Amino acid sequence: MKKREFLKVSGIITAGAMVSPLITSCGDTSGDSNQSDAPAGLFSQPELGFDYAALEPNIDARTMEIHYSKHHAGYTKKFNAALQGNADFANQTVEEILANLKDDNASEGIRNNGGGFYNHSLFWSIMAADAGGTPQGDIANAINASFGSFEAFQDKFSEAAATVFGSGWAWLCKDDENKLFITSTPNQDNPLMGNIVEQSGTPILGIDVWEHAYYLNYQNERKKYIGNFFNVINWKAVEGRLVG
């Protein structure tokens, strides 16, 4: 696995510095990002690679703004705060922290907010304007090999997302042999949490099915949101996670 895949914890990086390779940039770019309030030297929210309105009509601008600047910013801030009191995870990447979580070594604050920080960072990275459509290349081959066809994958992924009870995520993951599988997790858990979740792996695509992700625009129609999510999937970015 390439090092650029990791979001690094660093004691020497000051608050506001961008440490995420998901979208490279520098500096504190948003007054809403809460970076100025974050404890120094921990994780920073990656910059959104598109305008809040860029995914309309599939995801509306107001939902994107609240989701990024309030929800994700909040998880990031609380994750950093929770880590301040736990030396076990010092100098670990977020992937390492999540993989090392056990019921008895992590507070709910680290599990929920670390998951929330990671999950949303991934979520923004695999969406784009003028995206969607049918995947090509390595990711298409991998999907076909694992699920038979893109349509069969869509059906299975949509079903997984639709049947999450309450709040959670559905995921397309790769295992140790780069084979793909679909799973779902409750709350802000994710498949990196191998000691906690039923099926562990590396997520390469995820959909947030918490109501805050869609309720303003879709109200209770989660299935409609899931269907339209396919219009904004950045398959090139998903492929980058597959082969990365």
Q: Which residues bind Mn ion (CB under 5 A)?
A: 208, 210
CB 241 within 8 A of CB 141: no
- State how far the alpha carbon of 49 is from the alpha carbons of 19, 68, 113, 216, in Å: 15, 11, 22, 22
CB closer to Mn ion, 75 vs 147: 75
Element (H, E) at 155: helix 150-162
CB closer to Mn ion, 146 vs 188: 188
Q: Tokens 């793909």 correspond to what residue? A: 180
Gap between the Cα atoms of 119 and 193, Å rounded: 12
Shortest-Cβ-distance residue relative to Mn ion: 208
Residue 48: both structure tokens together? 């959104």
Give the shortest CB-39-to-Mn ion separation in angstroms. 22
Give the shortest CB-34-to-Mn ion separation in angstroms. 15
Give the shortest CB-12-to-Mn ion separation in angstroms. 30
CB closer to Mn ion, 115 vs 135: 115
Give the shortest CB-234-to-Mn ion separation in angstroms. 18
Q: How far is CA 231 from the centre of its chain?
A: 18
CB closer to Mn ion, 167 vs 231: 167
Give the shortest CB-178-to-Mn ion separation in angstroms. 28
Residue 66: both structure tokens together? 């609240």
Q: Tokens 């999510």 correspond to what residue? A: 229
Helices 108-125 and 73-84 pack at an angle, to 10 degrees, of 140
CB closer to Mn ion, 111 vs 146: 111
